Chains A and B, each alone.
Chain A
Amino acid sequence: MSAPFNADEMRTIVNSIITYVLNGASTKLPIKEKDIMQTIDKKGKLFNAALQRAGEILKETYGILMVAVPESKGAKSYICFSEDSGKSLLMHDEKQKNQLILLFIILSFIFMRTTTSIPSISEAYLQNFLKTLHIDFDVPHEYFGNNIRKLITDTFVKQLYLKREKSNSDLETEIKYCYSWGFRAHQEFDKKCLLFATAQIMKKPAKAFGTKYDEVCKDEEDAG
């Protein structure tokens, strides 16, 4: 039976953790547990208890979920997102809104074009698709910014929206990359929404996309 922690000290540590998390929230980068520990100079049982309490407060008071990133190779890290997303576009600033739109396009494309046997799409395939929408990796875009290459291959990957992996191919001498949904994308984007939006754009009923429709229905069943 461990002795209860000093209430005042606990409160200070919890407040520090909350401040730390909220300060970095807008970057959407994963928060490393050891960075928090280093900054507030606390560790062990006291830290873990405070971290858990901070997570509860973030959910109860701010509606923000702080979730551990799975398979983060030794260094434990967390990402934060709203428990109830996208109720008003005004919640985001101009730049964030534009980035979310680009993500919507990319994630929809990846979702519609992947299957269980082909779980990712190649960078070349993605690049060509975006070109048809006049979005070029290496050309400044009026709406999506000056460095689309960096945004997609670096920023979105670091934010865990996209997973970018080297594709296995013994034949190729060049290194090729392929994309799939990142951990954050799975939490923030609703596949059913994307399917229905895509169907609307293509002017077909959602059921026309047989496999995908079954997939989102099954997901709903599993969750509900």
Chain B
Amino acid sequence: MDMIKKQLLQACINHGSMKLEIFQRMLRDLCKAYEISEESFVTVEELTILINEINENINQYDQMLTIVKHPLNNEEYVVFAMLKSNLACKFQPQYTDNERKYFYKLLETLANSEDFGIEWNDIYSVANTLPTNAQHPISKQRIQDLEDQWTSQGYFIAKDHKIFFGPRTIVEYGNYLKNHFPEFIKDCVLCSKIVFWDIKCNECEVKLHRECIRKYLSKKTNCPNCKKKWNTHL
């Protein structure tokens, strides 16, 4: 079983983020390869237990695995997240300083847009807003490659010709986004976890998770924030 956990960890580190169903299929393959029964790893609850067991080993190294349901497509992802920003995090051998700055610029641009999304084509113009880009511009091909890499790693997610925050960004950069863009990105007042899309109250415009407000409205009829009568369609 230990071997399976290690292989799962390696795969998660490699992918950065993967759909839960792929994680399950991989687990089945590994069980076959190591001749262990797959019976105890079928439901999401059982998978969560397995993931928590792995976390017990890696939390001490400022890392964790977690299952995230992305609000935009309701798909579940297994995300490998590095939690603390130690010196070594800044060194990612495959990215230049400029490319790292580009990543943060993309986060900033997404945070400032209405639905936290930008048109796919705008990724090029965002690079041009970098002050340092003038001397050593990132080539169009490289921008595309970076975008592909970051999307497959789970930092961004593509939907309807637009790009949004991906599951891994939500986990790794949640606090960063709340701290840097507090007017736009906040916690849901009901569960205190970060909320991006979901539902807005018509009166006070506060954002809440669909599930949170649904549960709340089964007992009450007003907005938990402004206390006015709730009249937004769920």
Contacts and interface: CB of A to CB of B under 8 A. Distances in A.
A205 interface: no
Interface string A4-28: 0000000010011111101111110
B3 A26 contact: no
B132 interface: no
A196 to B, nearest CB: 18
A171 interface: no
A25 B11 CA distance: 11
Contacts of A22: 13, 63, 82
Interface stretch (A55-63, A119-127, A172-180): A55-63
B11 A23 contact: no
A100 interface: no
A89 B33 CA distance: 12
B9 interface: yes
A18 B86 CA distance: 11
A41 interface: yes
B10 A15 contact: no
Nearest to B94: A27
A25 B29 contact: no
Contact of A39 (B25, B57, B91): B91
Q: How large is the interface on A (under 10, 10 to 19, 20 to 34, 35 or more residues)?
A: 35 or more
Chain B binding surface, main DSSP class: helix
Contacts of A82: 7, 10
A39 B11 contact: no
A93 B3 CA distance: 20
A92 to B, nearest CB: 7
A83 B10 CA distance: 11
B77 to A, nearest CB: 14
B86 A93 contact: no
Contacts of A57: 61
B1 interface: no
A90 interface: yes
B184 to A, nearest CB: 29
Interface of A: 12, 15-20, 22-27, 29, 31, 35-36, 39-41, 57, 61-64, 82-84, 87-93, 96
17 contacts: A15-B62, A16-B87, A16-B88, A18-B61, A20-B91, A22-B13, A25-B13, A26-B94, A62-B9, A63-B7, A63-B10, A87-B7, A87-B30, A88-B11, A88-B29, A88-B33, A91-B11
